[in-house]
Amino acid sequence: MEFSSKLLENAVNEMSQLPGIGKRTALRLVLHLLKQPEQQSQKLASALLQMRESINFCSNCHNISDTQLCKICANPRRDEKLVCVVEDIRDVMAIENTSQYRGHYHVLGGKISPMDGVGPGDLTIVSLVEKIKIGNISELIFALSSTMEGDTTNFYIYKQIEPYNITTTTIARGISVGDELEYADEVTLGRSILHRIPFESSLKSL
């Protein structure tokens, strides 16, 4: 792509560094900004800069937070002995949206993935094990995505905390609500039969 302006080329190049944004999309976004009042570009730029410079992570659960302890960890009505291990802050938001969970979280910051060069040391596993060592946690819920990387990470953490003898659970795998049985994959369907639950308790969660 050849640009008629260096400034435009520079903006498109920087924009296309973002994941899933190619050169063509970047050009469309940048031309949109050009058509809008100058203020909009200024607001976008300063919002990004401020976020990058001043963002904080909760010292307990590593969730993004403006305060030293995040709202969830600082809430005395939440059960601090119950901890849900998630990959990143989007998972926290997704689980919070369900209003079904009243415990704490632990945000790992990723999954163990040798292909992407992410080892256990790049995640917040040490601080999780530390919390368990102190004895503050009675149950750990694994809520990572059900991929090879997620399973590897679950297993790695499981091995690390085995000596401390706490309850470890994992979120249920099964047929999504509203899904047709015939379109489900065998593994999911198989697991959902293997881990069937009493009919009465399925009524309770409605």
77-116: contacts with its own copies (CB under 8 A)? 88-90, 92-93, 96-97
Rounded Cα distance, 126 and 108, in Å: 10
Q: Which of 32, 102 has the CB closer to its own copies?
A: 32
Q: Which of 98, 201 has the CB closer to its own copies?
A: 98
Phi-psi map region of 94: left, alpha, beta (phi>0 left; psi -120 to 50 alpha): alpha
Write the binding mask 42 to 71 for its own copies: x where contact by CB under 8 A, - elsewhere. xxxxxxxxxxxxxxx-x----xxxx---xx
Q: Report how many residues bind its own copies under the rule CB under 8 A.
A: 60
Write the binding mask 25 to 44 for its own copies: x where contact by CB under 8 A, - elsewhere. x-xxxxxxxx---x-xxxxx
Cβ–Cβ < 8 Å for 132, 140: yes
Cα dist from 121 to 34, 125, 148, 182, whole Å: 43, 7, 18, 42
Minimum Å gap between C-beta 181 and its own copies is 29
In this structure, how many other beta carbons lie within 10 angstroms of the beta carbon of residue 195? 10
Minimum Å gap between C-beta 44 and its own copies is 4
Single out the residue of 8, 129, 166, 189 in contact with its own copies (rule: CB under 8 A): 8
If one asks whether residue 74 binds its own copies (CB under 8 A), the answer comes out as: no
Q: Which of 37, 178 has the CB closer to its own copies?
A: 37
Instruction: Please compute Rg for the chain using Cα positions.
Output: 22
Cβ–Cβ < 8 Å for 63, 107: yes
Minimum Å gap between C-beta 153 and its own copies is 17
Rounded Cα distance, 149 and 144, in Å: 9
Question: Looking at this protein, which amino acid is placed at residue 89?
Answer: I
Minimum Å gap between C-beta 172 and its own copies is 24
Minimum Å gap between C-beta 48 and its own copies is 5
* Residue whose C-alpha is closest to residue 143's, from 159, 135, 154, 132: 154
Rounded Cα distance, 39 and 123, in Å: 38
Give residues in contact with its own copies (CB under 8 A).
1-8, 10-11, 13-15, 17-21, 25, 27-34, 38, 40-56, 58, 63-66, 70-72, 88-90, 92-93, 96-97
